[in-house]
């Protein structure tokens, strides 16, 4: 029995460059965080404050980033995130590789904010065709009540696909899969981001 509940996965994505191929599958883990847990993370971020970023940092967009600590997340939530990427890697995606290095942050998007098209391999500052690792990203929306701000990913035909993800759901995809966040029209979008990498010399190639 899967302790994380029902899982939905599909095949999307195309290579983001001509230098490599990407594993195009994704996994969707519903209700990973409770409403109280999500509200607590947002409140703690509002108390500590964030940094508004734009331009290259936001891939041509604008947003407010909140660097967070393990203490802010709490051991239970952090363990669930690790469990999720491990399950996605070993079971849902069938990679069968260890993921042993992590990074996480909270992003907030107000009206007009967006994130331009990018791949998360860039968070290590390496070009995607020369990576000493492969990895998984989790995008976990923390709230609803806003308009716009949808996450989109490239589909197999090179078109954009928008996954149906609810607040508290964990949406998992390979760090070499191109994606973007559309502009927020009204309200404020909060999202928890978790990146897990392996240090082994393997590229995101099937």
pLDDT tens string 39-84: 999 999 999 999 999 988 788 899 999 988 888 899 999 999 999 9
The C-alpha atoms of residue 40 and residue 34 are separated, in whole angstroms, by 10
Domain assignment of residue 89, yes or no: yes
Domain assignment of residue 194, yes or no: no
Domain assignment of residue 187, yes or no: no
Residue 16 burial by Cβ neighbours in a 10 Å radius (0-12, 13-18, 19+): buried
Domain assignment of residue 49, yes or no: yes
pLDDT at 23 (0 to 100) = 58
Residue 200: is its pLDDT beyond 60?
Answer: no
More confident of the two residues 124 and 99: 99
Count of domains for the chain: 1
More confident of the two residues 140 and 19: 140
pLDDT at 69 (0 to 100) = 86
Find the domain containing 78 and state its range.
25-128
pLDDT at 16 (0 to 100) = 31
Residue 181: is its pLDDT beyond 60?
Answer: yes
Please state the pTM of the whole predicted model.
Answer: 0.82
pLDDT band, residue 25 (cuts 50/70/90): confident
Domain assignment of residue 151, yes or no: no
* Phi/psi at 64 (5° precision): -115, 125
**What is the mean pLDDT of the segment spanning 81-95?**
84
Where helices occur in 56-187 by DSSP H, the ranges are 70-73, 75-87
Residue 11: is its pLDDT beyond 80?
Answer: no
Domain assignment of residue 11, yes or no: no
Torsion angle, CA of 139/125/117/51, rounded to 10 degrees? 70
More confident of the two residues 96 and 2: 96
Domain assignment of residue 68, yes or no: yes
pLDDT at 72 (0 to 100) = 87
Which percentage of the chain shows pLDDT scores above 90? 49
* Top-ranked range on mean pLDDT: pick from 4-13, 22-31, 36-45: 36-45
**What is the mean pLDDT of the segment spanning 132-141?**
79
For the stretch 152-169, pLDDT in tens is: 998 767 789 999 999 999
Domain assignment of residue 99, yes or no: yes
Residue 3: is its pLDDT beyond 70?
Answer: no
**What is the mean pLDDT of the segment spanning 181-196?**
96
Q: In the numeric block, which tokens belong to residue 134?
A: 């492969």
Q: How many CA atoms lie within 13 A of 88 on its CB side?
A: 30
């Amino acid at each position: 029995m899967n302790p994380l509940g029902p899982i939905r996965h599909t095949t999307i994505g195309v290579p983001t460059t001509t230098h490599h191929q990407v594993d195009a599958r994704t996994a969707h883990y519903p209700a990973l965080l409770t409403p109280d847990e999500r509200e607590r993370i947002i409140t703690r971020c509002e108390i500590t404050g964030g940094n508004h970023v734009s331009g290259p940092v936001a891939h041509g967009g604008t947003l407010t980033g909140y660097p967070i600590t393990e203490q802010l997340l709490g051991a239970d939530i952090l363990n669930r995130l690790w469990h999720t990427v491990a399950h996605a890697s070993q079971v849902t995606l069938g990679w069968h590789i260890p993921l042993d290095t992590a990074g996480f942050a909270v992003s907030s998007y107000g009206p007009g904010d967006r994130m331009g098209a990018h791949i998360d391999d860039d968070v290590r500052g390496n070009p995607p065709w020369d990576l000493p690792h492969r990895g998984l990203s989790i995008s976990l929306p923390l709230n609803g009540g806003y308009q716009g701000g949808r996450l989109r990913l490239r589909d197999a035909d090179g078109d954009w696909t928008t996954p149906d993800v609810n607040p508290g759901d964990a949406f998992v995809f390979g760090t070499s899969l191109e994606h973007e966040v559309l502009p927020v029209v009204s309200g404020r979008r909060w999202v928890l981001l978790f990146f897990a990498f392996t240090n082994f010399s393997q590229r995101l190639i099937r």
